[in-house]
A and B are shown apart, each in its own frame.
Chain A
Amino acid sequence: MTQSGRTFFLRPRDMIGIVILAFLLIVVLPLTLDNFRLQFVGKYLTYAFVALGLVLCWGYAGILSLGQGVFFGLGGYCMAMFLKLEASSVANTKIQTTPGIPDFMDWNQITALPWFWEPFRSFPFTVLAVVLVPAIFAFIVGFALFKRRVGGVYFAIITQALAAIMTILIVGQQGYTGGINGITDLRTLNGWDIRTDSAKTVLYFVCVGLLIACILIAYFVKSSKLGRILVAMRDKEDRVRFSGYDVSNFKVFVFCLAASLSAIGGAMFTLQVGFMSPSFVGIVPSIEMVIYTAVGGRLSILGAIYGTLLVNWAKTSFSETFPELWLLGLGGLFIAVVLAFPNGIAGLWQTYVAPRLGPLFSDAVKRRDATPPATPPASGPVAPAAAE
């Protein structure tokens, strides 16, 4: 799969793919959709960050994390805490018993700002926290688990439990976190009103820009030596270990990277939608984020973006017209993707469409000869039974 002698990390067809995606998101959608729909797309794109992280973590490294919602939530909550503090200035909250603290704290008889809220008055700190807090959390979890060679199914279950713990904790500690309602009524970012239509359009473009930057990072990781070690590790972990690599360090790194990417998505979500709540943290949203990646193609960076857009678009349109059918459709999607199209949309594209598009895409043809398309990606069997 490697092309020796390549100096630039993007292959021509990757570049074309990114340009097409960028053109679609920056030109086509803003011109064809009204503001209301464009904001929806902006919201979907924040999930695409998570999907991107999952491609690296699950598709390339074979680590299925069912707790990406935790990182999405951590990023979102960091941003929401900053915005909330700005919205609850002493002037805005003078009717409260304790002016200057967020309204939900006042409702819960808390009279002073908790210590962990204090640093979020600073915007630079918040931006750093959005990226670093989830990464540190992921590092602790990943380090403890991967060093002990926990992987595959066990890792999935433990991350899922973390998602459950996080939701219960946020809901339970109402006074500190806003509880089940989350942190709402966010108004301005450094004095700039984020609730207006024009602000939302600007945020949409910021989101697209960040997403493309993250896509480039993902391609860079994928084509670097690190990316090749990840794939090797997924396919034959023991051989990589016997070759002298410390497998767990690579896993920890990719897990932290995926966490940071998800958190950027979460922060953009808070900015665009204007609130953050535990319903984006728990088990159900976390596993839905996995299905975005699976539908798009767990091995394709761009596929995951399209998968996210497609599933969310279907979700919105189905829930508008036939709310009760949506769960059936989503459930069917899970089963169909796993049983029939394990490589998702990207797999279909590479098997049926790309070979007809000429020499620029010839790489796909070569690869198809090497590995028959009927074989599912080696995502399952590689997951080592952890506790052996």
Chain B
Amino acid sequence: MFSDYSLAELGSIFVMQGFAGLILFSVFVLMALGLAIIFGQMGVINMAHGEFMILGAYVTYFTSQFFLNYLPGLFGIYFFIAMILAFIAAGALGMAVEWLMIRRLYKRPLDTLLATWGLSLILQQIYRSVFGPREVGVELPGWMMGSLPVTDSIEMQINGLFVMGLTICITIAVALLMYRSNWGIQVRAVVQNRIMAGAVGINTEKVDRYTFGLGCGIAGVAGSAFTMIGSTGPTSGQLYIVDTFLVVVFGGAQSLLGTIASAFTISQAQSTLEFFLSGSMAKVLTLLGVVIILMLRPQGLFVIKVRR
């Protein structure tokens, strides 16, 4: 499959597909970060994660409409405000869901899967009724349009670069929060040994609620970033949920580093294969590869050693 292209062309193809893969990677990482916190740390399977992401996307869309109509002068910076609003909206919904539903199911992880699937159906239908079945796209501010020419055959879109930068910032923030802050220590303590964590005075219920809220909030931010590179519809979230779960499981559920590494592997494999095969076969081969590796190494790429 390589023989039709010259060496320089192949180089450009790999760089361009690599860049497309990096955008996919950013979306995967942003979605998987929230999921890794909820699934990896709490053991809850949140099948509605995609819908939390879409909530963030809709919040971003409406913020952009608001700025376009009422504050056109500040349109250049609307995205940052939208991102904060998306975080708050998705996080608040997440905390409400945790309080109403998830906290009753901590001992039955398979049942959280079914219940959150139900939640995702409800949210999809609500989005469809409230926001309409059509996909919506946001208007990008002027400084995000266009692309940077690197060489004459390689170009990089600014919005893609922006999403990547954003991904890096959010990842660092989450890593600091989980591994350096007092709160992160509490979260990890509760995960490793709930009873002992309670005994030393950690309010485990509160930690659970905020952890779930944080995971959903990050999903909201992911949705916000997602609007920069794609349009939003009521069922967009479902497209990514299986891939994201595979990313998290493949990386080793409790390791942030593993999540990032596996998101990178999967997205790069998929986008590189996409150029040479049809899109569907690229996806089939990637997913199949992941499943086969998981059969051989079920614990994922990176494992935290915990004595139980």
Chain A residues proximal to chain B, CB less than 8 Å? 64, 66, 141, 144-145, 148-150, 152-154, 156-158, 160-162, 164-165, 168-169, 171-172, 283, 287, 290-291, 294, 324, 327-328, 330-335, 337-339, 342, 376, 379-381, 383, 385-388
Taking CB atoms, residues of chain A closer than 8 Å to B120 are 331
Contact: A158 with B291, CB < 8 Å? Answer: yes
Kindly state the separation between the CA atoms of A135 and B105 in the bound complex, as whole angstroms.
Answer: 33
Kindly state the separation between the CA atoms of A18 and B115 in the bound complex, as whole angstroms.
Answer: 31
Contact: B294 with A158, CB < 8 Å? Answer: yes
A252 to chain B, nearest CB (A): 13
Q: Is B43 an interface residue (CB 8 A)?
A: yes
Contact: B249 with A154, CB < 8 Å? Answer: yes
Taking CB atoms, residues of chain B closer than 8 Å to A335 are 101, 115, 118-119, 122
Kindly state the separation between the CA atoms of A338 and B109 in the bound complex, as whole angstroms.
Answer: 11
Taking CB atoms, residues of chain A closer than 8 Å to B124 are 327
Contact: B110 with A383, CB < 8 Å? Answer: yes
Kindly state the separation between the CA atoms of A161 and B294 in the bound complex, as whole angstroms.
Answer: 11
Taking CB atoms, residues of chain B closer than 8 Å to A333 are 118
Contact (A387, B118) CB under 8 Å given A169-B280, A338-B105: no
Contact: B113 with A153, CB < 8 Å? Answer: yes
Nearest A-chain residue to B128, judged by Cβ = A324
Kindly state the separation between the CA atoms of A172 and B285 in the bound complex, as whole angstroms.
Answer: 12
- B115-154 vs A, Cβ < 8 Å mask (1 yes, 0 no): 1011111111110110000000000000000000000000
Q: Which of the residues B111, B121, B298 comes within 8 Å of A338, measured between beta carbons? A: B111
Q: Is B23 an interface residue (CB 8 A)?
A: no
Interface of A is mostly: helix
Contact: A148 with B298, CB < 8 Å? Answer: yes
Besides the contacts A154-B249, A161-B242, what 14 more A-B pairs have beta carbons closer than 8 Å?
A145-B295, A153-B109, A154-B298, A156-B45, A162-B291, A168-B280, A327-B122, A328-B125, A331-B117, A334-B114, A334-B121, A338-B108, A385-B43, A387-B299
Kindly state the separation between the CA atoms of A133 and B30 in the bound complex, as whole angstroms.
Answer: 39
How many B residues face the partner with a CB closer than 8 A?
48
A318 to chain B, nearest CB (A): 12
Q: Is B81 an interface residue (CB 8 A)?
A: no
Taking CB atoms, residues of chain B closer than 8 Å to A161 are 242, 245-246, 287, 290-291
Contact: B298 with A145, CB < 8 Å? Answer: yes
Taking CB atoms, residues of chain B closer than 8 Å to A381 are 107-108
A341 to chain B, nearest CB (A): 12
A97 to chain B, nearest CB (A): 23
Q: Which of the residues A64, A144, A283, A339 comes within 8 Å of B295, measured between beta carbons? A: A144
Q: Is B220 an interface residue (CB 8 A)?
A: no
Q: Is B71 an interface residue (CB 8 A)?
A: no
B288 to chain A, nearest CB (A): 6
Q: Which of the residues A141, A148, A331, A383 comes within 8 Å of B109, measured between beta carbons? A: A383
B200 to chain A, nearest CB (A): 23
Nearest A-chain residue to B297, judged by Cβ = A148
Kindly state the separation between the CA atoms of A171 and B300 in the bound complex, as whole angstroms.
Answer: 29
A299 to chain B, nearest CB (A): 14
Considering the complex, which residues of chain B in the window 82-111 have a beta carbon less than 8 Å from any beta carbon of chain A? 101, 104-105, 107-111
Taking CB atoms, residues of chain B closer than 8 Å to A337 are 114
Q: Which of the residues A64, A141, A331 comes within 8 Å of B113, measured between beta carbons? A: A64
Contact: B300 with A165, CB < 8 Å? Answer: no
Contact: A148 with B115, CB < 8 Å? Answer: no
Taking CB atoms, residues of chain A closer than 8 Å to B114 are 287, 290-291, 294, 334, 337-338
A154 to chain B, nearest CB (A): 6
Kindly state the separation between the CA atoms of A283 and B239 in the bound complex, as whole angstroms.
Answer: 11
Q: Is B283 an interface residue (CB 8 A)?
A: yes
Contact: A376 with B108, CB < 8 Å? Answer: yes
Q: Is B180 an interface residue (CB 8 A)?
A: no
Kindly state the separation between the CA atoms of A164 and B244 in the bound complex, as whole angstroms.
Answer: 13
Taking CB atoms, residues of chain B closer than 8 Å to A150 are 294-295, 298
Kindly state the separation between the CA atoms of A172 and B252 in the bound complex, as whole angstroms.
Answer: 30
Q: Is B181 an interface residue (CB 8 A)?
A: no
Q: Is B303 an interface residue (CB 8 A)?
A: yes
Nearest A-chain residue to B45, judged by Cβ = A153
Taking CB atoms, residues of chain B closer than 8 Å to A164 are 242, 287
Contact: B105 with A339, CB < 8 Å? Answer: yes
Taking CB atoms, residues of chain B closer than 8 Å to A148 are 295-296, 298
- B157-168 vs A, Cβ < 8 Å mask (1 yes, 0 no): 000000000000
Q: Is B253 an interface residue (CB 8 A)?
A: yes
Nearest B-chain residue to A153, judged by Cβ = B109
A5 to chain B, nearest CB (A): 35
The 8 A-B pairs at the shortest CB distance, nearest first, are namely A334-B118, A380-B108, A172-B280, A331-B121, A387-B299, A331-B122, A144-B295, A327-B125
Q: Is B182 an interface residue (CB 8 A)?
A: no
Q: Is B169 an interface residue (CB 8 A)?
A: no
Contact: A153 with B110, CB < 8 Å? Answer: yes
